[in-house]
Amino acid sequence: MHESQPSLFPPIIANRHGMLAVDSLHTIYWEEVGNPDGTPVLFLHGGPGAGLSPQHRRFFDPRHYRIILFDQRGAGKSTPLGEWRNNTTQLLMEDIETLRAMFGIKQWLVFGGSWGSTLALAYGQAYPERCLGFILRGIFLCTASEIDWFLHGVEQFYPELYDDFIALIPVAERGDLLQAYVSRMLCDDPARYWPAARAWSRFEGRRVFLRPQSEEPASDTLDLGVGRLESHYMANLGFFEEGQLMRDIKRIAHLPAFIVQGRYDVICPPVSAYRLHQAWPGSRIHMIADAGHGALETGIASALVAATEQFRRLGRFE
């Protein structure tokens, strides 16, 4: 169970929602929340594959913002669930542009956490003229070193979780743990991919929060989406050239950005957020001293709401 979040806006239902076929294989779920005439904001969820939660609507004042949210390919209510084929960063960016055109939006504020921050940066660098600014949490630049940390480095802090994670893989295959998981998850045999997907999802989920949380009920939707798509994207370095997102920061350096980072984030360590801030003259950074990776940890949630409120009032970040 998550901590209560008094800083979030009250729960709100979507004004409208639907399904959009983006190719012959994938259909994505979308929703529009808040003021139809308000400042447009795009919410990008994490993972890849984690999908949306009703809580994600609550970072924004619905009287001011027109909030567009969607489940990325293979995630949440999008179909087919966990589908990795025809699923790349470049195709996700095309989906974003399809949605933007469908809603008749010229420019929007882009909000993303974890993998959502990765996708936000990639989208912004490809379409800077479509962006008003960025609110980013738990920065992940999808570099080889960050992927290695996700899989192996975290053993230094959570050795018991790491042991559980590798237990599924025979010793002979542990020299390339990522490929061992990919070979299981991206196959058509449920007896092979379900144990791998659940092990992967638990390996990540049990280290999201700084303070221990009660176990969430198992979610096949989350496990399959996260397990399959995270391993698929990591095996392909996010479909980026190494260091691409830092290399191309100049394309969005003129735009305002607010970066929120948990000091004790062991999924996306703070060095990436710090380096991004250093390279981005128009950015502000808020390092949360008593938080890990979770968007709903008290300090992180409060900082994210403060950022959306600053942008509402000023169109920039202080």
pLDDT in tens, 26-41: 999 999 999 999 999 9
End residue of a domain, out of 238, 261, 279: 238
Domain membership of residue 186 (yes or no) is yes
Domain membership of residue 10 (yes or no) is no
Predicted pLDDT at 303 = 97
pLDDT in tens, 154-165: 999 999 999 999
Do residues 306 and 204 both lie within one domain?
A: no
Taking residues 111-135, report their average pLDDT: 98
How far is residue 305 from each of residues 60, 100, 222, 291, 295, measured CA to CA in Å? Answer: 7, 23, 25, 16, 11
Do residues 136 and 261 both lie within one domain?
A: yes
- CB-side exposure of 289: number of CA atoms within 13 Å? 0
Q: Does residue 139 contact residue 272 with C-beta atoms inside 8 Å?
A: yes
Spatial distance between the Cα atoms of 44 and 111, rounded to a whole number of angstroms: 6
Spatial distance between the Cα atoms of 219 and 226, rounded to a whole number of angstroms: 11
Taking residues 131-159, report their average pLDDT: 97
Going by pLDDT thresholds of 50, 70 and 90, the confidence category of residue 215 is low
Predicted pLDDT at 2 = 41
Do residues 178 and 294 both lie within one domain?
A: no
Which stretches of the chain are DSSP H helices?
Answer: 89-103, 115-126, 144-151, 159-167, 177-185, 190-205, 220-235, 244-247, 271-279, 298-314
Taking residues 250-258, report their average pLDDT: 97
Do residues 153 and 231 both lie within one domain?
A: yes
* Percentage of residues of the chain with pLDDT beyond 90: 92
152 is an active site residue = no
Domain membership of residue 165 (yes or no) is yes
Predicted pLDDT at 164 = 96
- Tell me which of 114, 231, 272, 302 is the catalytic residue: 114
- pLDDT over threshold 90, residue 272: yes
- Those residues whose C-beta lies under 8 Å from the C-beta of residue 307, and which sit 6 or more positions away, are 135, 258, 260, 286, 317
- pLDDT over threshold 80, residue 296: yes
How far is residue 51 from each of residues 113, 132, 133, measured CA to CA in Å? Answer: 12, 24, 23
Do residues 59 and 123 both lie within one domain?
A: yes
CA 222, 243, 249: angle at the middle one, nearest 5?
A: 95
114 is an active site residue = yes
Do residues 118 and 251 both lie within one domain?
A: yes
Cis peptide bond N-terminal to 62, omega within 30: no
- CB-side exposure of 31: number of CA atoms within 13 Å? 19
- Tell me which of 64, 265, 272, 286 is the catalytic residue: 265
| Mean pLDDT rounded to a whole number for the chain | 95
Going by pLDDT thresholds of 50, 70 and 90, the confidence category of residue 213 is confident
Domain membership of residue 3 (yes or no) is no
User: Which residue range(s) make up the domain with 110?
Assistant: 16-142+240-314
Domain membership of residue 75 (yes or no) is yes
Q: Does residue 113 contact residue 106 with C-beta atoms inside 8 Å?
A: no
64 is an active site residue = no
- Tell me which of 56, 283, 293, 302 is the catalytic residue: 293
Spatial distance between the Cα atoms of 297 and 226, rounded to a whole number of angstroms: 20
End residue of a domain, out of 222, 238, 254: 238
* Percentage of residues of the chain with pLDDT beyond 70: 97
Do residues 49 and 155 both lie within one domain?
A: no
pLDDT in tens, 43-57: 999 999 999 999 999
Predicted pLDDT at 315 = 85
The SS3 of residue 11 is coil
Do residues 99 and 169 both lie within one domain?
A: no
Answer whether 0.85 is exceeded by the pTM. Answer: yes
- pLDDT over threshold 60, residue 174: yes
Going by pLDDT thresholds of 50, 70 and 90, the confidence category of residue 3 is very low
Domain membership of residue 219 (yes or no) is yes
Q: Does residue 122 contact residue 93 with C-beta atoms inside 8 Å?
A: yes
pLDDT in tens, 255-271: 999 999 999 999 999 99
pLDDT in tens, 57-116: 999 999 999 999 999 999 999 999 999 999 999 999 999 999 999 999 999 999 999 999
Do residues 20 and 57 both lie within one domain?
A: yes
Do residues 56 and 109 both lie within one domain?
A: yes
Do residues 123 and 21 both lie within one domain?
A: yes
How far is residue 104 from each of residues 15, 66, 101, 107, 311, measured CA to CA in Å? Answer: 16, 12, 5, 9, 21
Domain count, the chain: 2
**Beta-bridge partner residues of 286:** 260
Predicted pLDDT at 316 = 83
